């Protein structure tokens, strides 16, 4: 559907094709995205410096009486004549050009090296940080200001006020260069990268929840005609316009329902199914399908606007690279699992259902938490491949800590996760850390009613060399403590 929607030739009005919101991928939207992602703050600072240069020039050309004492004072102490001012501005402009080229080259090398280890998400994170935008705008704006002021220097005009501002900005820029270099190095640390992914994923989930709360989880409509809404475009489905869906479905009768098949984050190719539209009247179902098609937004690059699963995927790819036998770096994997555990813990406590308003007749499957467990399972798989017992122990520990907070369906998925990893446990060295984690997850599952899975974990653990009977150890420790408490009065008497 280009504008308004159309069906494929030869079909009997049961399929509607859509290109989605074509404005979203247009050149001006891409330009807006570039301004929003990085260029906006920098360009705003550069424009501010241009306006500042214009204001300074007008002030110095004005006949205001209060300006002359200021100009005379600056001429006596800083810029005596136009030749000195011009020489200074030439030096500053050349210095800023050199500094800009060096800083940009160094940043690109650092970013490229870090991205080769941790993935292209490094570029997105660097551009998203406001301090990077501010400093880029500062050094380029200072260069533009120096060039503007230099262009006004002549034998009859000495722009001492503008040159003084250029001097002040230059000093500030050089001082901030040290802070910028430090923060750039800090930004490349794995813990900073993981923390930024964690924060961006939480924000994406909040935006997604606005959509989830306005839709249904289960179909309500029965029977009627069904029209398939399919894609005439390709790319990632990056967002669904809830307001447009609300307008398209306004006043819908109870027999009307839109069942979404594709969710934000899904890659869509030509003729992929996006949704099914149900209605009692076939013509009504077709009209709705044509209208709601413009609520789908496609892009060549995946975005985290309504797609927190993209954040989970970034954690997975980052951890997979570092955990695998290619890197053998358990530190990054452990930090990624800790971040994943925090995300799961927060999301399980969020209220999804709405009680104060009727949701739209749109069915949307919210399976983000199951997706997070899929990522955890993936980390366990790569830990088995690289024989990193620390990571496997952390996976088991995460399941054990969160198991009592899982809903019944998530408990089933967590049990499945553990059972899928157990057959390959014999390839691991049963370290004390892994042994304790297996013992604890079995004990927790048994306590919460998952006796069969707990028994399977115990059997797999006991088959490994080095397994310890922790229940006996705990019992002996308790007996020793009790015996020590009984002996303590006698010992005190002997000491007395």
Closest CA to 458 of 159, 450, 287, 133: 450
Give residue 297's pLDDT: 92
Quick one: average pLDDT of 108-126?
71
The 3-state DSSP class for residue 246 equals: helix
Q: Which of 4-18, 363-377, 425-439, 456-470 has the highest mean pLDDT?
A: 363-377
In a 3-state reduction of DSSP, which class is residue 268? strand
Judge contact between 299 and 24, C-beta under 8 A: yes
> Mean pLDDT over residues 30-55, rounded?
83
Going by pLDDT thresholds of 50, 70 and 90, the confidence category of residue 10 is: very low
Between helix 190-213 and helix 121-128 the angle, nearest 10°, is: 80
Average pLDDT over residues 71-88: 83
Q: Which range, of 85-99, 234-248, 481-495, averages the lowest pLDDT?
A: 481-495
- From CA 144, how far away is CA 56, in angstroms rounded? 14
d(CA 190, CA 471): 38
How many angstroms separate the Cα of 322 from the Cα of each of 237, 263, 316, 317, 416?
29, 29, 10, 9, 25
Other residues' Cβ atoms within 10 Å of the Cβ of residue 167: 16
Is-contact 491 457, C-beta < 8 A?
no
| CA dist 367 → 263, 323, 373 (Å) | 10, 26, 10
For 379, how many CA atoms within 13 A lie in the half-sphere containing its CB? 38
Distance CA 67, CA 65 (A): 5
- The residue whose two tokens read 């980390």 is 379
User: Would the pLDDT of 316 be above 90?
Assistant: yes
Q: What pLDDT does residue 13 have?
A: 47
Q: How far apart are CA 37 and CA 126, in angstroms?
A: 10
Query: Is pLDDT larger for residue 60 or for residue 381?
Result: 381
Confidence of residue 82 (pLDDT cuts 50, 70, 90): confident
Direct distance between the N- and C-terminal alpha carbons of the chain, in angstroms, rounded to an integer: 95
Average pLDDT, the chain: 84
Opening angle at CA 457, ends 456 and 460, nearest 5? 85
> Cα–Cα distance between 108 and 245 in angstroms, integer?
42
pLDDT tens per residue, range 461-486: 888 866 667 666 555 555 555 566 55
CA distances in angstroms from 7 to 127, 263, 271, 290, 298, listed in the order given: 41, 22, 11, 9, 20
Binned at pLDDT 50, 70 and 90, residue 27 comes out as low
**Predicted TM-score of the model (pTM):** 0.79
- Out of 96-100, 289-293, 452-456, pick the least confident: 96-100
Q: Which of 282-296, 325-339, 400-414, 455-469 has the lowest mean pLDDT?
A: 455-469
Transcribe 61-115 into DSSP letters.
HS--TTHHHHHHHHHHHT--SHHHHHHHHHHHHHHHHHHHHHHHHHHHHHHHHHH
The answer for 9, left when phi > 0, alpha when psi is -120 to 50, beta otherwise, is beta
Q: What is the pLDDT of residue 488?
A: 54
Q: Which of 209, 61, 210, 224 lies closest to 149 in space, CA to CA?
A: 61
Which pLDDT belongs to residue 479?
A: 57
Q: Which residues pair with 231 in a beta bridge?
A: 18
Rounded-to-integer distance, Cα 313 and Cα 333, Å: 13
3-state secondary structure of 6: strand
| CB burial string 272-295: b at 16+ within 10 A, e below | bebbbbbbeeeebbbbbbbbbbbb
**Structure-token match 């503008």, residue found:** 162
Question: Two tokens at 283?
Answer: 């013509």
pLDDT digits (tens, 9 = 90+) for 162-184: 899 899 999 998 888 888 888 88
Question: Judging by beta carbons within 10 Å of its beta carbon (0-12, 13-18, 19+), is residue 72 exposed, middle or buried?
Answer: exposed
Rounded CA gap, 20 and 4, in Å? 10
- The DSSP secondary structure of 418-437, one letter per residue, reads HHHHGGGGGGS---HHHHHH
Q: Which residue, among 159, 132, 143, has the nearest Cα to 97 in the 3D structure?
A: 143
Give the C-alpha separation, 345 to 340, whole Å: 9
HEC string of 141-169? HHHHHHHHHHHCCECCECCHHHHHHHHHH
365 — phi, psi (to 5°)? Answer: -85, 115
- pLDDT digit string, tens, across residues 205-246: 999 998 898 898 888 877 678 999 999 999 999 999 989 999
């Amino acid at each position: 559907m280009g504008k308004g929607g159309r069906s494929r030739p030869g079909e009997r009005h049961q399929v509607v094709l859509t290109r989605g919101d074509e404005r979203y991928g247009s050149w001006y939207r891409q330009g807006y995205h570039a301004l929003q992602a990085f260029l906006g703050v920098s360009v705003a600072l550069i424009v501010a410096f241009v306006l500042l240069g214009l204001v300074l020039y007008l002030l110095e050309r004005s006949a205001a009486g209060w300006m002359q004492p200021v100009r005379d004072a600056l001429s006596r102490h800083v810029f005596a004549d136009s030749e000195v001012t011009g020489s200074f501005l030439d030096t500053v402009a050349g210095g800023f050009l050199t500094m800009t080229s060096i800083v940009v080259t160094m940043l690109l090398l650092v970013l490229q090296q870090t991205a080769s280890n941790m993935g292209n998400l490094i570029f997105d994170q660097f551009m998203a940080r406001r301090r990077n935008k501010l400093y880029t705008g500062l050094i380029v704006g200072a260069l533009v200001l120096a060039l503007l002021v230099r262009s006004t220097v002549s034998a009859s005009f000495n722009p001492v006020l503008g040159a003084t501002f250029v001097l002040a900005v230059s000093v500030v820029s050089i001082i901030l260069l040290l802070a910028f270099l430090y923060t750039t190095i800090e930004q490349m640390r794995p813990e900073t990268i993981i923390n930024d992914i964690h924060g961006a994923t939480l924000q994406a989930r909040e935006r997604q929840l606005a959509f989830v709360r306005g839709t249904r989880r289960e179909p309500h409509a029965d029977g009627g005609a069904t029209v398939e809404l399919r894609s005439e475009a390709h790319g990632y489905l990056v967002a669904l316009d809830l307001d447009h869906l609300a307008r398209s479905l306004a006043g819908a009768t109870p027999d009307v329902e839109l069942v979404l098949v594709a969710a934000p984050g899904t890659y869509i190719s030509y003729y992929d199914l996006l949704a099914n539209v149900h209605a009692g009247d076939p013509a009504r179902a077709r009209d709705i399908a044509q209208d709601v098609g413009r609520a789908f937004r496609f892009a060549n690059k995946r975005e985290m606007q309504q797609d927190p699963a993209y954040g989970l995927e970034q954690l997975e790819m980052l951890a997979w690279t570092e955990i695998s036998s290619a890197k053998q770096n358990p530190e990054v994997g452990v930090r990624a699992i800790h971040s994943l555990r925090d995300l799961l813990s927060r999301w399980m406590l969020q209220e999804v259902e709405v009680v104060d308003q009727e949701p739209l007749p749109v069915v949307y499957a919210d399976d983000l938490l199951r997706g997070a467990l899929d990522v955890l399972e993936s980390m366990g798989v790569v830990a088995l491949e690289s024989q990193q017992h620390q990571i496997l122990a952390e996976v088991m520990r995460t399941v054990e800590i969160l198991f009592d907070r899982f809903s019944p369906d998530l408990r089933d998925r967590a049990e499945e996760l553990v059972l899928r990893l157990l057959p390959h446990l014999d390839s691991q060295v049963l370290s004390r850390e892994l042994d304790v984690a297996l013992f604890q997850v079995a004990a927790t599952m048994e306590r919460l009613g998952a006796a069969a899975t707990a028994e399977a974990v115990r059997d797999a653990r006991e088959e490994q060399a080095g397994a310890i009977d922790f229940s006996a150890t705990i019992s002996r420790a308790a007996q020793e403590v009790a015996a020590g408490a009984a002996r303590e009065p006698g010992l005190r008497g002997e000491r007395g």
